[in-house]
Amino acid sequence: MQSRDWIIHWKNVWSTLVIEGSTEQESRLTPNDAHLNRLEQELNVHLPRSYRAFVQVFGPGILMGSHTILAPGYRGATVIDFLANNKWQAQESARRAEPERVGRLIAFADFLCQYLAWDPHEIVLPEEHEYRIYLVPKQLDQPLLPIADTFPQFIEKSCIEGKFWSRIGAKCDFSWEDEKGEIRTEPVFEPIGLGPTSSV
C-alpha cells in the first residue's frame, strides 16, 4: 500500500480504539515525514511504510496497556524516544546466543521492559520494507522469540486481537471470555507526549 493508504487504514483502526488520557492528546501533533526521514538516516535502514504511517496517526503511546510504541522526535523522553531505546544492541549481543542478529535488531516498541524489534536482514515484504519482528526476552539464556512477520500483523493481530499473549504463554489483562467461550479484548491506546520536541 502507499503511504496515504496506510494513513487511512490507521485512522480507521484509531476510530475503533478506546483512547485514554486527556482530550488534548487526541488532537496532538505527531511525528512527520521529516522526523521519520531523519530517523532512517540515523539507522541507515528504511522504516516499514506501515510504521511510518502509524506514528503519524497515533504518535507514540501505550497500546493494550503494555506495548509502548516508540517514535522519533521525543529526544530525552526515554520511555518513547526511538534512538535512546536503540543503544542496547552492542552490549546485549555479546551476552546472547545470537550475537550477530541481536546486534542488528532495531527496537520499535517495549513490552514490560523487553524490546520488540525488527531484524532488517529478515525482509518479509521488500517494497513495504517489512521485517520479521522478535521479542528480546529479559532472561539472557532465552532465545529471541519471533512474534510477527509485519508491523500491521503485530499491531492488529498480536496486540489488538491479543494473540501476543498466547504466543508468550500469558493472559492479557484487557481480555475476557465471551458467552461463546471466545477470548475478547478491549482495544485501548494511551497517547504519550503532546508532540515532537526534537528533530529526531
CATH code: domain of residue 147:
3.40.1580.10
For residue 175, is pLDDT > 70? no
- Give per-residue burial for 167-178: e unless 16+ CB within 10 Å, then b: eeeeebebeeee
**35 falls within a domain:** yes
The tens digit of pLDDT for each residue in 118-156 reads 999 999 999 999 999 999 999 988 999 999 999 999 999
Residue 179: what pLDDT?
76
Query: Which residue segment(s) compose the domain that 58 sits in?
Result: 3-191
**197 falls within a domain:** no
Percentage of the chain modeled with pLDDT above 70? 92
**Who wins on pLDDT, 173 or 87?**
87
Longest dimension (CA), the chain: 50
**200 falls within a domain:** no
**Structural domains counted in the chain:** 1
**72 falls within a domain:** yes
For residue 173, is pLDDT > 70? no
